[in-house]
Structure 1
Amino acid sequence: MIHYKAIGKIIGVLLVLLGILMLPSIAFSVYYGSNDLMALVYSAIISALSGGLMFSSFAKQDENIRKREGYLIVSLSWIFMSIFGMIPYLFSGSIPYWPDAVFETISGLTTTGATILEDIESVPVGILTWRSMTQWIGGLGIIVLTVAIFPLLGIGGIELFVAESPGPTSDKLHPRIRETAKRLWFVYVGLTLVLMVLYKLAGMSVFDAVNHALTTMATGGFSTKNASMAHFDIPAIQYIAIVFMFLAGTNFTIIYFGLKGKFRQVWASDEFRTYLFVVIFIVVVLTVPIYFLTCDPMEKAFRDALFQVVSLITTTGFVTADYLSYHDSLVIIFFMLLFLGACAGSTSGGIKFVRHLAFVKNSYLEFKRIVHPRAVVPLKINGDRVTGKVITHIMNFLLIYLAIFVFGTIVMSLAGYDLITSFGSVATSLGNVGPAIGLVGPMDNFAFFSPFAKLFLCFLMLLGRLELFTILVLFTPYFWRAN
């Protein structure tokens, strides 16, 4: 039997948190005298009161949640946060049409970064700050924040953490799940604050520094400028963004070990080394052709190549150049980057390097098993043997991901969009990236899609952010059968 009251209790807490997290947007609105103040105040009150009412109604429920409740809480919480998160857009009139408001909110919370706004710089500052906050909230997962701050809810946290935390790994910094969640959030918050200061020192205004720090660490890509990071054509700003996008795409356990000076443990990670080498290799491959195609100085060609590669691999989605203007061969490479993702346990979306690494290693070992059928040839990552159950899970994930990509492309094509745009919109939504190819390139937006297409892409964003199984398991009869 599913404990629905315990689910309602947790979702109530999340909505209260959502209302509290609207306060920075209200502060910016007050400081700049923006006309969106009351819309944000009313939105915060509605979210907090609704959450408080739900929590108080089920406060006496102390059942421990199991896996089924954990998956339901995570899935439903994203739906509820999307509903309440879009209220500021509707109340302020910045996005008056509800399918557009839903799209912008889910794109923010899933850190996809796709937008329907055609003139971002005309949007009030408070709404822009809330827009950035949605990405920061979704970056490491508000569920993890709840587990860290509200251990006295009377509800177990491990199933929430497993259902929400990205990637197939379960590396923990501390044996107690609450301490793990806290330490992850301390790293996340600390790096965000440092990045705000660095952006400001490099030449951004306080408003731009705060907003871009929030969306950089979340690997979200929302910007306060129509031209995204290309607006800030200052090498220092772009190199700072590159470093922190790369860090945000790194497993936060690895970052924690690095901050503690445990560099051997950092370098012992097969996934991190692969992530680093792939970025370096692709940048080397792209820099020279970009230099000759654009006739820019070598440093600018290198910076654009490095920025776009890191931005797409980490699924951040910031842009400094229109890569669709390059030769088709380079465009294909950039499109392929949409399917990589960075490290498991990071704020990035996508498939993740650990899955690619396991697939490549296992495929290579399969040849050895063919030659030596009686030999025991285990797959190892980080020196540890990967069990058959994990390998099966990874292979199933990759196959389902491919199937959803194909299915999504067919749906978008039937909705009336050309094949390249269908490819691009589905790949970028499922991978939580932002820019893609076709009519959704780095200089375009998603405003032209029909309401159906936008809502379908929203579903893909949620699937990608929660790594497929968390949502897809809800559509199986096994999930709903009583114990």
Structure 2
Amino acid sequence: MNFSIIRYILFMLVEFMAALLAVPTLVCLIYGEWKDAIIFASIALICLASGFFFGYLKKPENRTFYAREGFVTTALAWIILSLIGAVPFTVTGTIPNYLDAVFETVSGFTTTGATILTEIDGLTEFHRGVQFWRCFTHWVGGMGILVFMLAILPMAGGYSMHLMKAESPGPSVGKYAPRVKDTAKILYSIYIAITLTEMVCLKITGLSVYESMTLTFSTVGTGGFGLLGTSILEYSYATQVVITIFMALCGVNFSVYYFLLTRKFKEAWHIDEMRWYFIIMFASSILIALNVVQNGVIASFGEAFHHSMFTVASIMTTTGFATLDFNVWPQFSRTLIFLLTCIGACAGSTGGGFKFSRIIILIRNAKNEVIKTLHPKSVQKVYMDDHVVEDTTVKGTNAYLAIYTITFLTSFLLVAFFESFNVIDFEVFDFETNITAVAATLNNVGPGLNMVGPTGGFHDFSWASKVVLIFDMLAGRLELMPVLILFYRKTWHK
């Protein structure tokens, strides 16, 4: 283990954090929030000094960097930056409890959107800079903190791809350009273009510049932090339609946009994951709309489809916005929403969840196993995007399913145990609350059902459960392995 290169990269990230904190500092100055501006600026200066003295001035002589260092660096980077990012919430007094502040920050960077706040409207009114920072964490975490750094900072050596692989969602990650730095630039160029486009569209619907920026950060990052306690309910239908469209677009593998920009239309169309992503999205929206109309929850099919499409896009892309409280929808609709929570978005997108690509690989591999049972001598291959999927990828997907299942069940058991001693106002944390809380955090969705539904939150969970859910958010965003490797004893051997 090359500890010196890990230390160097981590302190470079701490120094980079100073630049990120400068953005909300500027927002505080614009709105005359001088106290909050001083707090953000002070934390930024501390980060800048720490990164300079412990990183820049102490460059490592040995730059050997393998996959192990990449996974450890990625996991520690997200943990350290989340711990730093939580400080402004506590010092400004908006979230006095530091553990709650860490929960909110991890939820922001991992684009989960689960919140412990009960007075979101007051935060928007009196602490605009803090609210901006809260939504801005979604945008930074959406494409990835390390990918962002790779795009703009000179990172010499052959270790960049290990960082990108450890942070990028999905079963595999590829390069669009010969150099990883150029690949990162391409990804962020697409990301920024989508961001600016949505900002303009939201401004056209009548929102202020501040509202357009913050809601865009939460949408493009597929995070879900809103400016109001009612999420997107109070905004116009036009605003809701714009957000629906961009949520759906940001759940697509970004390689599709790269192929479209480079006029490789055939390659873009032949991405199986994208086709099934939209088929499931529209089919689920129609089924839910029919179900809520049939049960008299919403009168007209048109209005029902509008809200069901928004909800399905929000859940599938793991954004977590809501226009209605789907907690009161019929059982079939709630069950379908829970299943979509676990599936998630496409690989290589800003969305979380298990990913469509893995689902496709597992189903096609299962089909091959059935065929081989009938015809033992036959040779079966898993195909995806008109290409053979390598056996290592298939095995990795099977292993990921096993680890995902074990992590999910263990987290659920721990939360159920901890909350069995926790009774809030004579209301217990029931099965539905606990299991959907774990699903919502591990899949980086945000809202679950019952007490953690769109009108609820995670503020009443015990501190022990919050630690488990923080772990789930980090593990889900980093695809499990980087976080779990930290607990493997042999990882730390030299």
**Is the TM-score greater than 0.5?**
yes
The separation in 2 between residues aligned to 1:245 and 1:259, in whole angstroms, is 20
1:188-245 superposed Cα distances (whole Å, 9 cap, x missing partner)? 111111111111111111111100111111100011111111121x121111111111
The separation in 1 between residues aligned to 2:155 and 2:415, in whole angstroms, is 45
TM-score (norm: length of structure 2): 0.94
The separation in 1 between residues aligned to 2:279 and 2:58, in whole angstroms, is 50
SS in structure 1 opposite 2:416?
A: helix
Aligned residue type for 1:300: E
Cα offset, 1:343, TM superposition:
0.6
The separation in 2 between residues aligned to 1:360 and 1:53, in whole angstroms, is 52
1:192 has 2:195 as partner: yes
Change (3 A) 1:480 1:44: closer
1:420 has 2:432 as partner: yes
Aligned pairs for 1:250-329 (under 5 A) are 250-292=252-294, 293-329=296-332
Residue 54 of structure 1 is matched in structure 2 by 54
Residue 219 of structure 1 is matched in structure 2 by 222
Aligned residue type for 1:353: F
Residue 461 of structure 1 is matched in structure 2 by 473
The separation in 1 between residues aligned to 2:173 and 2:2, in whole angstroms, is 26
The separation in 2 between residues aligned to 1:29 and 1:477, in whole angstroms, is 44
Change (3 A) 1:300 1:47: farther
Cα offset, 1:62, TM superposition:
5.1
Residue 355 of structure 1 is matched in structure 2 by 358
RMSD: 1.5
Would you say the 8 A contact 1:247–1:255 is kept in 2?
A: no
Change (3 A) 1:203 1:68: same
Residue 443 of structure 1 is matched in structure 2 by 455
**Identical amino acids, percent of aligned pairs:** 35
Residue 426 of structure 2 is matched in structure 1 by none
SS in structure 2 opposite 1:229?
A: coil
Name whichever of 52-61 and 82-91 sits farther off. 52-61
Aligned residue type for 1:396: A
Residue 480 of structure 1 is matched in structure 2 by 492
Would you say the 8 A contact 1:99–1:451 is kept in 2?
A: yes
Cα offset, 1:80, TM superposition:
0.9
Would you say the 8 A contact 1:167–1:345 is kept in 2?
A: yes
Question: How many residues are matched?
Answer: 480
Residue 374 of structure 1 is matched in structure 2 by 377
1:296-323 superposed Cα distances (whole Å, 9 cap, x missing partner)? 4332211101000010000000111111
Cα offset, 1:401, TM superposition:
0.9
Name whichever of 168-177 and 305-314 sits farther off. 168-177
Cα offset, 1:167, TM superposition:
0.7
Name whichever of 18-27 and 305-314 sits farther off. 18-27
The separation in 2 between residues aligned to 1:366 and 1:67, in whole angstroms, is 32
The separation in 1 between residues aligned to 2:137 and 2:49, in whole angstroms, is 19
Aligned match for 1:243, one of 238, 242, 245: 245
SS in structure 2 opposite 1:79?
A: helix
Would you say the 8 A contact 2:322–2:454 is kept in 1?
A: yes
Cα offset, 1:476, TM superposition:
2.4
SS in structure 2 opposite 1:237?
A: helix
Aligned pairs for 1:90-239 (under 5 A) are 90-123=90-123, 124-154=127-157, 156-232=159-235, 234-239=236-241
Aligned residue type for 2:279: F
Gaps of 5+ in 2: 421-428
Residue 3 of structure 2 is matched in structure 1 by 4
Would you say the 8 A contact 1:6–1:58 is kept in 2?
A: no
Would you say the 8 A contact 2:170–2:479 is kept in 1?
A: yes
Cα offset, 1:110, TM superposition:
0.6
Would you say the 8 A contact 1:39–1:92 is kept in 2?
A: yes
Would you say the 8 A contact 2:5–2:60 is kept in 1?
A: no
Cα offset, 1:155, TM superposition:
6.1
The separation in 2 between residues aligned to 1:219 and 1:54, in whole angstroms, is 34
Aligned residue type for 1:69: E
The separation in 2 between residues aligned to 1:43 and 1:297, in whole angstroms, is 52
The separation in 2 between residues aligned to 1:422 and 1:347, in whole angstroms, is 25
1:43 has 2:16 as partner: no
TM-score (norm: length of structure 1): 0.96
Would you say the 8 A contact 2:138–2:217 is kept in 1?
A: yes
1:109-148 superposed Cα distances (whole Å, 9 cap, x missing partner)? 1110001110111111000000011111111111112222
Would you say the 8 A contact 1:338–1:350 is kept in 2?
A: yes
Would you say the 8 A contact 2:15–2:51 is kept in 1?
A: yes
Would you say the 8 A contact 1:409–1:419 is kept in 2?
A: no
Change (3 A) 1:313 1:408: same
Residue 63 of structure 2 is matched in structure 1 by 63
SS in structure 2 opposite 1:38?
A: helix
